[in-house]
Amino acid sequence: MPVFDLRTLLPGKISFEEKDLMFHAGDLWPRKLLLQRQGQKLKLPKAVVRPETIEDIQTLLAWANKEKVALIPYGGGSGVCGGTQVLNDSISLDLRKLNHIQEMNEESFYVRAQAGILGPELENALNQKGFTLNHFPASFAISTLGGWISTRAAGQLSTGFGSIEDMLLALTVVLANGKILETKLTPRSSTGPSLTQLFLGSEGTLGVIVEATCQIHRLPQERDFLSFSFQNISEALSGIRTLLQKNIFPAVVRLYDEVDTQMALSEIGVEASGNLLVLVFQGEKEMVEAQKTVAKKLFSQKGKELGEKPARHWWEHRFDLNDKKMTQILSQEGMLLDTIEVATTWDRLELLYTEMKKAIESEITVLAHFSHFYLTGGSIYFTFVGSTEENKVLEKYDRVWDKAMEACLKVGGTISHHHGVGLLKKKWIQKELKEGWEILSQLKKEMDPNGILNPRKLL
């Protein structure tokens, strides 16, 4: 691989230092962390490139395409599916220096920013002007705008304001041959299939996202909280479905199963049995009061009101379980920890929960919550945690995922709601996409004929 050509191609923007290569060897995929714990050496990129302009990326891709050198786009490194794992000789394309806000339009309510900007950098700039993106994934502090788009991310306020695909208006992408594709900024267009949507969830396999335009919102005038407990999942889910199908969408709706409920309530000293429901309302004061009144009346029919304390506590501590805590747990011998996020329609949602929980708990302790709700259904977020003999850790980890994914597909759920695919779920993506798999594969071959863009991921 002629990587040393890079010194003259992009002088001062290349690193061959071991600490940089180690950092860019992958993301926060728990299986990668388990491999490291067991002393297995990770394959490192041959170099790390830190472009400072879109022209730098064009130059790099044109060179890489000509030389057939693989590139792995890298944002915050917060992914948990192995989407940036180095598998063969490749160069890591670190986008973090492309972190500027290009335009904030207060008349048309949109922001145009470069893909490497971190969540807090973007949100703080918006807040200073009285705006918010309303996109808060759990990885908010360490994830980038480009990373959100490339994995089809969802944030904690998605029930009220949608996920990243609902916010995205236009894109600038550098293609494998170094050419630029810019999609047009309009509120909507009927000029054929959406090229903007094509790159959503593509995980760097079809092009390098370098800039995005997203809609924004005014900062809320009011934010209020409600909490309830339900003796069974069915009654709680039925209430949530009824509320949403009345076209009332709180900013946050989260329902915890019994195991997760006890963990959540023990932290704040609230005693309640069953399943905890937390609601967050935000917007104009009159709208918040109206939504809260309807929700309170509806959920009081079958649930026990717990006041605002559990919901407010969740809001104030929603980023506590961060990457540092996860890596700390996974540094302990024999420990296993990971999360599985799936989704389906209302008529199969409880069955999906029951079947997947049964499959996972046959191997390990599992807890779950429901979130990211829609008129048509919702998602479930499973967390499995436990320990086994260190020499059986990888075998058990893989077996949990096998059982969980097969149970999900059997019920008819999607195997990924917002974490993407990467390496972790590639084994099952063809089963989910069916005929669509071949169409996407053909697109990949046409757009990246030399296979330089994040090879062996997703497709």
Q: What is the per-residue pLDDT across 194-217, written as a single tens digit (0 to 9) for each?
A: 999 999 999 999 999 999 999 999
In the predicted model, what is the mean pLDDT of residues 424-429? 96
- Co-location of 230 and 309 in the same domain: yes
> Which pLDDT score, from 0 to 100, does residue 399 have?
98
CA distance 344 to 437: 20
Which is nearest to 363 in space by CA: 345, 387, 341, 342? 387
What's at 91, amino acid-wise? I
| DSSP for residue 364 | S
- Co-location of 108 and 199 in the same domain: yes
> Which pLDDT score, from 0 to 100, does residue 231 have?
95
pLDDT in tens, 1-59: 566 678 889 999 999 999 999 999 999 999 999 999 999 999 999 999 999 999 999 99
Scan for tokens 């009927």, then name that residue.
190
Tally of domains within the chain: 2
Length of the chain: 459
Enclosing H/E stretch for 181: strand 180-182
- Co-location of 261 and 214 in the same domain: no
Q: Is 77 part of any domain?
A: no
Could you tell me if 441 and 458 are in contact, meaning their C-beta atoms sit under 8 angstroms apart?
Answer: no
- Co-location of 191 and 168 in the same domain: yes
pLDDT in tens, 133-157: 999 999 999 999 999 999 999 999 9
Q: Could you tell me the two tokens for 350?
A: 């409880």
Q: Is 422 part of any domain?
A: no
Q: Could you tell me the two tokens for 379?
A: 């998602």
Q: Is the pLDDT of residue 225 over 70?
A: yes
Is 285 buried (19+), middle (13-18) or exposed (0-12) by CB count in 10 A? exposed
- Co-location of 281 and 202 in the same domain: no
- Co-location of 254 and 198 in the same domain: no
Q: Which of these three, 297, 316, 335, is where a domain ends?
A: 316
> Which pLDDT score, from 0 to 100, does residue 432 have?
97
Band of residue 335 on the pLDDT scale cut at 50, 70, 90: very high
pLDDT in tens, 444-455: 999 999 999 999
Q: Which of these three, 218, 239, 256, is where a domain ends?
A: 218
Phi-psi region of 56 (alpha: psi -120 to 50; beta: other; left: phi over 0): alpha
> Which pLDDT score, from 0 to 100, does residue 3 have?
66
How are beta strands 365-371 and 377-387 bridged, if at all? antiparallel
- Co-location of 236 and 289 in the same domain: yes
Phi-psi region of 214 (alpha: psi -120 to 50; beta: other; left: phi over 0): beta
Q: Is 268 part of any domain?
A: yes
In the predicted model, what is the mean pLDDT of residues 224-234? 97
Q: Could you tell me the two tokens for 161?
A: 């304001």
Q: Is the pLDDT of residue 257 over 70?
A: yes
Q: Which of these three, 218, 251, 276, is where a domain ends?
A: 218
> Which pLDDT score, from 0 to 100, does residue 4 have?
60
Q: Is the pLDDT of residue 277 over 70?
A: yes
- Structural domain range at position 178: 101-218
Is 41 buried (19+), middle (13-18) or exposed (0-12) by CB count in 10 A? exposed
Is 12 buried (19+), middle (13-18) or exposed (0-12) by CB count in 10 A? exposed
Q: What CATH number is associated with residue 147?
A: 3.30.465.10
List the alpha helices (DSSP H) in 174-249.
195-199, 233-244
Q: Is the pLDDT of residue 278 over 70?
A: yes
Band of residue 263 on the pLDDT scale cut at 50, 70, 90: confident
Q: Is 284 part of any domain?
A: yes
> Which pLDDT score, from 0 to 100, does residue 188 have?
95
pLDDT in tens, 347-370: 999 999 999 999 999 999 999 999
Which is nearest to 255 in space by CA: 264, 267, 268, 246? 264
> Which pLDDT score, from 0 to 100, does residue 322 have?
79
Band of residue 323 on the pLDDT scale cut at 50, 70, 90: confident
Q: Is 167 part of any domain?
A: yes
Instruction: Name 26's bridge partners.
Output: none
CA distance 132 to 126: 5
**Cβ-proximal residues to 295 (8 Å cutoff; 6+ apart), any chain:** 226, 243, 248, 250, 279, 281
- Co-location of 227 and 303 in the same domain: yes
Q: Is 175 part of any domain?
A: yes
Q: What CATH number is associated with residue 293?
A: 3.30.70.3450
Could you tell me if 330 and 33 are in contact, meaning their C-beta atoms sit under 8 angstroms apart?
Answer: yes
Mind giving me the DSSP string for 298-356?
HHTTTSEEEESHHHHHHHHTTT-S-HHHHHHHHTSTTEEEEEEEEEEEHHHHHHHHHHH
Could you tell me if 60 and 2 are in contact, meaning their C-beta atoms sit under 8 angstroms apart?
Answer: no
CA distance 153 to 164: 6
- Co-location of 175 and 143 in the same domain: yes
Q: Is 269 part of any domain?
A: yes
Band of residue 301 on the pLDDT scale cut at 50, 70, 90: very high
> Which pLDDT score, from 0 to 100, does residue 342 have?
98
CA distance 64 to 59: 9
Q: Is 255 part of any domain?
A: yes
- Co-location of 130 and 181 in the same domain: yes
pLDDT in tens, 98-108: 999 999 999 99
- Co-location of 189 and 241 in the same domain: no
- Co-location of 113 and 205 in the same domain: yes
Angle of CA points 8, 14, 17, to nearest 5°: 130
Could you tell me if 207 and 61 are in contact, meaning their C-beta atoms sit under 8 angstroms apart?
Answer: no
